Copies of this chain bind each other. A is one copy, B any other.
Amino acid sequence: MNNEHIAKLRLFNRFYTSVIGLLDKQYLNSEFSLTEVRILYELAHHPEGMTATELVEMLGLDKGYLSRMLQAFEKKKLIAKRQSSADKRAFFLSLSTEGNKLFAGLNDASQQQASDLLSSLGDAKAAELIGHMDAIRNIFENLTINKK
């Protein structure tokens, strides 16, 4: 057990928490909360539709809370609900045309932000950064796979 390593891991976590917090602030001047954006994100990436229960599982939300947020999305015409024929309690949710358009806008802003960050680093440093990030993801992913 290496104490230096432990300290650095914790330091990185604190550090990156603030990086992410900074980047997420952008969303906060959109009319949506972070949680709402996460929901839109999931829906955008499951165009075939997904149920509220699936969203609850993926995002770790309370189902009552989610239910209300979905109602708000519906009122704004951002999502479409299609009742499952196999299970009439369940509904397949997906972004409406408007919802997709709106999400595309949020996505563009996030894309732009990432792009700005990278270009302020310059090509060489940016490539380095991404290399480190890929490596970290890789290490963590092997970890979770091995734990199964």
Contact = CB atoms under 8 A, between A and B. Distances in A.
Q: Is the interface of A mostly helix, strand, loop or mixed?
A: helix
Contacts of A1: 115, 118-119
B10 A133 contact: no
A147 B120 contact: yes
Contact of A110 (B10, B110, B126, B127): B10
Contacts of A129: 9, 136, 139
A147 B22 CA distance: 15
A20 to B, nearest CB: 6
A6 B135 contact: no
Contacts of A69: none
A89 interface: no
Given A13-B20, A137-B11, A6 B128 contact: no
A130 interface: yes
Interface string A1-32: 11001101111110111011001000000000
A6 B115 CA distance: 6
B10 A111 contact: yes
Interface of A: 1-2, 5-6, 8-13, 15-17, 19-20, 23, 110-111, 114-115, 117-121, 123, 125-130, 132-137, 139-140, 142-143, 147
